[in-house]
Amino acid sequence: MTLVETIVAMGLVTMVLLILATLVNTAAGLNQDSTARNQNIQTANTFTQGLETGLNDTASVLPDAQVNARFGGDEAVVVLTRDRERARWTCRAWWLDDDGILWQRTGPELATNSSTGRPIAASASAGFSATSSPASAGWQKVADASIPSGGGFTVSWDSSSPYMLKADFVIGSVAPYRAQTTITLDSGWYRSALDLSGEAATVCAS
C-alpha cells in the first residue's frame, strides 16, 4: 500500500470506530434511562401501595392549618388510624421536605381507653413535624420526588362524605415517573362509632 492509501484506510477505520463508540454510548445511556425508569416505577408503586395500606381505616386527619404550622408549609399529611384486628391506634405521616425527599413515619401503638375505645393522647410520641434530621427522628426515606403542577397531598372532606386523599408526585430525577392515587381515608366505622373528627389534632400533634 502507498502512503496515501494507508492514510485513507486509517481515516476510514477511525470514522468507523467513532461511529461504533457513539452507538455504544447511546445504547448505554438508553439502558441507564430504562433502568432508572423501571426503578422509579417500582418505587412509585411501592409508595402508592404503602399509602393505601397505611391509610386503611383512617379515623382523623390533622387539619391543614396545623400541618402547615408544623411542617413550615411543606407538603405533608398526618393521620390517625386503627388496626381493627389488634384494636390499636397509630399515627402515620408522609412528608415531602424542602430538599425534595419524600419521607414516611409510623408512630408507636397508642394506648386505648378501655371504656371509650378512644386513643389516649398522652401516649403519643413527638416527631410528627419537620426536622433537620428526619432519619434520626424516625422518618424513613421513600424516594427523591417533586410536585407536579396541581400535585401534592390534597385532602377533602365534608359532612356527607368520607375523607379523600389525593397524592400526586413525580418520583425520581432521572427518567422520572408520575405517581398518582386517590384513597378513601375514612371507612365511616370509627367516625360514626366514636366521633373522632379532629382527633388527630390532639393525639398526633405532640
- Three-state secondary structure call for residue 42: helix
37 Cβ partners below 8 Å, 6+ apart?
172, 175, 176, 177
Cα separation, 190 vs 179, in Å, equals 29
pLDDT value for 125:
58
* pTM exceeds 0.85 for this model: no
First to last CA, the chain: 86
Residue 29's pLDDT is what?
65
In angstroms, how far is CA 19 from the centroid of its own chain? 43
At residue 102, the pLDDT reads 95
Q: What is the pLDDT of residue 117?
A: 77
Q: Tell me if residue 101 falls in helix, strand or coil.
A: strand
- Mean pLDDT, contiguous 10-residue spans, the chain (206 residues): 73 82 72 86 93 84 84 86 78 92 90 80 70 90 93 78 85 92 72 63 74
User: Which alpha helices (H) appear in 85-194, and where do they start and end?
Assistant: 189-194
CB-based contact 142:167 (threshold 8 Å): no
**Quick one: pLDDT at residue 167?**
94
CA 8/CA 17 separation, integer angstroms: 14
Sequential DSSP letters for 56-84: TTEEEE--HHHHHHHHTT-EEEEEEEEET
What pLDDT, on a 0 to 100 scale, did the predictor assign at position 34? Answer: 87
Cell of 74: 411543606
CB-CB neighbours of 41 under 10 Å = 16
Q: Which residue, 119, 124, 15, 137, is CA-closest to 71?
A: 137
Could you tell me which residues come within 8 angstroms of residue 84 by beta carbon, excluding any fewer than 6 positions away? 57
